[in-house]
Amino acid sequence: MKKTYYCILVLFLLAIEACNSEYEIYSGEDAIYFNEVSDTSHFSFTYIDSKYDRYVQEVHLKVIGQVVDYDREVDIRFTSKNAKEGVDFEPFEDTYVVKAGEVSVVVPVTMIRTTALLTEERVIDMELFANDNFTTHYEIGSNDSITWIESPRLKFTLIFSEFMDQAPSQWNPYLFGDFTAQKFKLICDVMGIEREKFLDYEYMAYRSSYIARYMKQYLSEEKSAGRTIYEEDGVTEMTMGPYA
């Protein structure tokens, strides 16, 4: 029994030592980095309903270092290669701050849906710089062995568009005809169907035939009224599939 208690005591002391070592690994200036899976993120409005003209992408920043009892401003700079503020995205805040007692901050990027996104991507670059609150390097090691390492996540790129190159998984060409972005958008808008429903087998299984018949009638009525609906080229008349 005494041997058992002795083993437990040794393990406990080793655990305490490990914890102390862990905290001793970092003792330098506080650093900051983009806490994202990759340095580039792609977003598409493809399956976002047409009624929504904006979408907020959250970009996460994380601190390496200590928790403090005061706010710390972050030096983050934005460069928009072909995106215009107020047209393609809403203005960014003047400053972003890591609040007292916290070690992270979220930078919301509000993208604006425009017709240009159907054929063109918009790109926003972000970069972190050192300031009085944060460095872009961090120390690793302890006591007499310290190495300076530059944070690998100082830049982040957001690319967004509304490309629809491929039909959604539940698009039936025999009922809906050849897939086009124009036709897909029209079907969803006319029938009030959420775009993501075309990815849902259970939802579409018993509705596809009805949707196709309804849209075939709709296109016919619009043509009879002198409002023929065309594809994006303005020449090809929009039609449904052969079994609609």
User: What is the CATH number for 66?
Assistant: 2.60.40.2030
Q: Are both 155 and 91 inside the same structural domain?
A: yes
Q: Are both 222 and 194 inside the same structural domain?
A: yes
Within a domain: residue 37? yes
Domain-terminating residue out of 137, 161, 185? 161
Q: Which two tokens stand for residue 59?
A: 């970009």
Q: Are both 178 and 108 inside the same structural domain?
A: no
Domain count, the chain: 2
Look at 27-36, 80-89, 95-104, 172-181 and tell me which has the smallest mean pLDDT. Answer: 27-36
Q: Are 77 and 124 in contact (CB under 8 A)?
A: no
Instruction: Give how far Cα 226 sits from Cα of 29, 59, 79, 119, Å.
Output: 71, 48, 47, 29
Q: Are both 118 and 97 inside the same structural domain?
A: yes
Q: Are both 173 and 214 inside the same structural domain?
A: yes
Whether 244 has a pLDDT exceeding 90, the answer reads yes
The confidence band for 27, taking pLDDT boundaries of 50, 70 and 90, is: low
For the chain, give the mean pLDDT: 85
Burial code (b: 16+ CB inside 10 Å, e: under 16) for 13-37 equals eeeeeeeeeeeeebeebbbbbbebe
CA dist., res. 210 & res. 214, Å (int):
6
Each residue's pLDDT tens digit, 45-62? 988 888 899 999 999 999
Within a domain: residue 16? no
Which of these, 6, 9, 117, 134, lies nearest to 55 by C-alpha position?
117
Q: Are 172 and 244 in contact (CB under 8 A)?
A: no
Within a domain: residue 11? no
Q: Are both 36 and 108 inside the same structural domain?
A: yes
Q: Are both 46 and 157 inside the same structural domain?
A: yes
Q: Are both 37 and 153 inside the same structural domain?
A: yes
Within a domain: residue 189? yes
Beta-sheet strand order (sheet of 96-98): 40-44, 155-161, 122-129, 72-80, 96-98
Look at 19-23, 28-32, 124-128 and tell me which has the smallest mean pLDDT. Answer: 19-23
Within a domain: residue 12? no
Which of these, 177, 190, 174, lies nearest to 227 by C-alpha position?
190
Q: Are both 113 and 169 inside the same structural domain?
A: no
Q: Are both 38 and 146 inside the same structural domain?
A: yes
**pTM: predicted TM-score of the whole model, two decimal places:** 0.68
Instruction: Give how far Cα 244 sits from Cα of 1, 176, 188, 212, Å.
Output: 81, 7, 16, 5
Within a domain: residue 2? no
The confidence band for 9, taking pLDDT boundaries of 50, 70 and 90, is: very low
- The contacts of residue 87 (CB under 8 Å, 6+ apart) are 112, 114
Q: Count other Cβ atoms within 10 Å, centred on residue 209.
A: 14
Q: Which two tokens stand for residue 62?
A: 């994380």
Within a domain: residue 231? yes
| Boundaries of domain holding 108 | 25-161
pLDDT score for 51? 84
Q: Are 241 and 208 in contact (CB under 8 A)?
A: no
Number of H helices, E strands in the chain: 5, 10
Q: Are both 200 and 229 inside the same structural domain?
A: yes
Domain-terminating residue out of 110, 133, 161? 161
Q: Are both 150 and 121 inside the same structural domain?
A: yes
Domain-terminating residue out of 110, 127, 161? 161
Within a domain: residue 4? no
